[in-house]
Amino acid sequence: MTKREANQQRSLAAFLAKKVEFDALLAELQRASDDHFGADPEAVLWGETAWLADATAKLKEVVDQHFRRGEYRA
């Protein structure tokens, strides 16, 4: 195996390990979202809304980076 091939194999292994971590985080977020992030509909206040707005903005940035939208447009 050449040095280039070995490097590619290590890169692939690292990528796949990060993908497993990413997928686990997505699944965890989906479960929390399905439960409305534990918010009680009778007691939701602006703090919960602000937290969700902040989390949504962070996720939007990740999506924009991946799909090269907004400020990440090529």
Residue type, 71: E
Q: Return d(Cα 56, Cα 36) in angstroms, integer.
A: 13
The mean pLDDT values, 10 residues at a time, for the chain of 74 residues are 96 98 98 96 94 97 97 93
pTM of the model: 0.83
Q: What is the pLDDT of residue 74?
A: 85
Cα 32 off chain centre by: 13
Q: What is the pLDDT of residue 44?
A: 94
Q: Give the residue among 18, 28, 20 at the shortest CA–CA distance from 55.
A: 28
